[in-house]
Amino acid sequence: MKVITLHNADFEQRCQELFSKIDVQPDVVVGILNGGGFVLNEYQKTASKNTEVTTVKLQRDSTKGIKKKSLLQKFLKASPNTLLDGLRRMEHRRNLNRKLKEIQSDLEIKIESKPETVNTILILDDALDSGITIKSVIQSLQKRFPNSEIKTAVISWTNSKSIIAPDYYILKNTLVRFPWSLDYKSQRHE
């Protein structure tokens, strides 16, 4: 599987490309932290002032508790990209084997709008791998907003066999190293 690095300008460009594909005007936009928060920040630059924005945090076990200034991050920054790409592919395969029982449908997502005023909800994330995270957010939102249309948008859809397909995406079957990734190296290091 191909691995690419998006630097800040590339990321901003890919976000604008993604947003140009979205053919609905959402009443609420939910960014899934951490990566979806960065996508949400880009979205807010051009979003309607009437659009409510919020975030929800779900993390894979592999990313919980890792400190930004950790020894691991120093090792990753010093490693060649070929090694980093191989590690990304391994992590991706491992994450795809996650069990469906990890879906949570009782997430607390702070939305102030009343259900009867919300026609469309847009969920933003940086990548969709197994689909478990986005499926969890969708199920939680469907409980509170049963009559609302829910759409999803991601920069990268890494696995066409995921349990859910995004409504909008830019890259397919591509792993992305984003500027906030632990193994990201700024352009001057490459």
pTM of the model: 0.82
CATH label of the domain that carries residue 52: 3.40.50.2020
CA 50, CA 190: separation in Å to the nearest integer?
42
Asked if residue 190 belongs to a domain, the reply is: no
Give the domain extent around 131.
2-58+70-185
Asked if residue 65 belongs to a domain, the reply is: no
Asked if residue 38 belongs to a domain, the reply is: yes
CA 89, CA 53: separation in Å to the nearest integer?
32
What is the total count of domains within the chain?
1
Tell whether the model's pLDDT for residue 90 goes beyond 80.
no
Asked if residue 99 belongs to a domain, the reply is: yes
pLDDT digits (tens, 9 = 90+) for 91-141: 766 766 655 456 777 788 999 999 999 999 999 999 999 899 999 999 999
Residues sharing a CB contact under 8 Å with residue 63, sequence separation 6 or more, in sequence order: none
pLDDT digits (tens, 9 = 90+) for 146-160: 999 999 999 999 999
Percentage of the chain beyond pLDDT 70 is 83
pLDDT recorded at residue 162: 92
